[in-house]
């Protein structure tokens, strides 16, 4: 969307998704969650392929907390030989008042690659949590740590160069999750263009933090990102 030089950032995103336990096509006795509809209503998010032909968002539940360095090094080593150019990032899933450390995986070509990927991580020393006795399914709040590659066509507005139709805008201060949910609800209920998905987070910049909101909208444009930013900033006190 821009010919300016790409900007690299590290940061966090906090979002809510409905997750469910993946029962098959995984390593035996491991705990894997999937988000079958990461952006509700946007059924063609990934590509023109049918939604059920490939995993969208997969969460490999870990036996313990691993450092960012451990996950990044393991992922980097696996990407040298793995068949698919997958994306993986560490995170935390909160569901049913329980917290699970995870690796979030995107861009796999098919479900059969999950076991190969798990085996690859185990070969790198990463251990996975055993499958629970009861199936886990329901809304979850998810925090992920990730690297961003961005274009900044206008000050404070960013487009993701890796994830299509993802835009970001800076906000003046940190919002709690409940405050963010309330503002998002009010924006959607008082606008003729309410069909977007939002997450909250921050970028690490110059030894400090820049708070931001991430918007997913099909056919994202600069005009749309400007407009949705205006709606949020009018409601942020």
- Kindly state whether residues 91 and 25 are assigned to the same domain: yes
Q: Which of 140, 169, 193 is the last residue of a domain?
A: 140
- Kindly state whether residues 57 and 160 are assigned to the same domain: no
Q: Which of 114, 140, 166 is the last residue of a domain?
A: 140
- Kindly state whether residues 155 and 52 are assigned to the same domain: no
- Give percent above pLDDT 90 in the chain: 79
Q: Which of 119, 140, 161 is the last residue of a domain?
A: 140
pLDDT of residue 53: 61
pLDDT tens column, 30-87: 999 999 876 654 544 444 444 456 788 999 999 999 999 999 999 999 999 999 999 9
Average pLDDT over residues 170-177: 95
- Kindly state whether residues 216 and 107 are assigned to the same domain: no
- Total structural domains in the chain? 2
Which of 163, 161, 156, 165 shows the shortest CA–CA distance to 232?
156
pLDDT of residue 159: 97
pLDDT tens column, 146-164: 999 999 999 999 999 988 8
pLDDT tens column, 115-155: 999 999 999 999 999 999 888 999 999 999 999 999 999 99
- Kindly state whether residues 130 and 174 are assigned to the same domain: no
- Kindly state whether residues 212 and 194 are assigned to the same domain: yes
- Kindly state whether residues 135 and 152 are assigned to the same domain: no
DSSP states of the chain:
---SPPEEEEEEEEEEEEEEE--SSS-TT--EEEES-SSTT-TTSS-SS-GGGS-SEEEEEBSS---HHHHHHHHHHHHTT-SS--EEEEEEEEETTEEEEEEEEE--SSTTHHHHHHHHHHHTT--BPPPPSS--EEEEEEEEEEEEEEEEEETTEEEESSSTTEEEEE-SS---HHHHHHHHHHHHHT-S----EEEEEEEEETTEEEEEEEEE-TT--HHHHHHHHHHHHTT--
pLDDT of residue 49: 41
Average pLDDT over residues 213-237: 94
Mean pLDDT of the chain: 90
How far is the C-alpha of 165 from the C-alpha of 183, rounded, in Å? 22
- Give percent above pLDDT 70 in the chain: 92
- Kindly state whether residues 37 and 134 are assigned to the same domain: yes
- Kindly state whether residues 106 and 187 are assigned to the same domain: no
- Kindly state whether residues 133 and 161 are assigned to the same domain: no
- Kindly state whether residues 170 and 221 are assigned to the same domain: yes
């Amino acid at each position: 969307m821009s010919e300016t030089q790409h900007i690299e950032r590290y940061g966090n995103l906090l979002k809510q998704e409905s997750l469910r336990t993946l029962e098959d096509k995984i390593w035996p006795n491991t705990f894997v969650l999937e988000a079958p509809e990461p952006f509700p209503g946007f059924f063609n998010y990934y590509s023109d392929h049918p939604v059920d032909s490939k995993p969208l968002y997969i969460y490999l539940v870990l036996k313990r907390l691993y450092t960012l360095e451990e996950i990044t090094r393991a992922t980097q080593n696996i990407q040298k030989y793995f068949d698919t150019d997958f994306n993986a990032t560490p995170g935390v899933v909160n569901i049913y008042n329980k917290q699970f450390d995870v690796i979030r995986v995107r861009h796999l070509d098919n479900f059969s690659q999950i076991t190969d990927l798990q085996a690859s991580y185990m070969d790198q020393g990463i251990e996975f949590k055993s499958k629970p006795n009861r199936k886990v399914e329901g809304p979850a709040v998810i925090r992920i740590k990730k690297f961003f590659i961005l274009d900044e066509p206008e000050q404070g507005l960013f487009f993701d160069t890796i994830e299509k139709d993802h835009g970001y805008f800076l906000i003046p201060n940190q919002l709690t999750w409940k405050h963010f949910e309330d503002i998002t609800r009010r924006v959607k209920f008082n606008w003729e263009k309410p069909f977007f998905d939002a997450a909250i987070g921050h970028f690490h910049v110059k030894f400090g933090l820049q708070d931001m909101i991430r918007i997913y909208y099909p056919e994202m444009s600069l005009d749309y990102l400007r407009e949705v930013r205006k709606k949020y900033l009018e409601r942020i006190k």
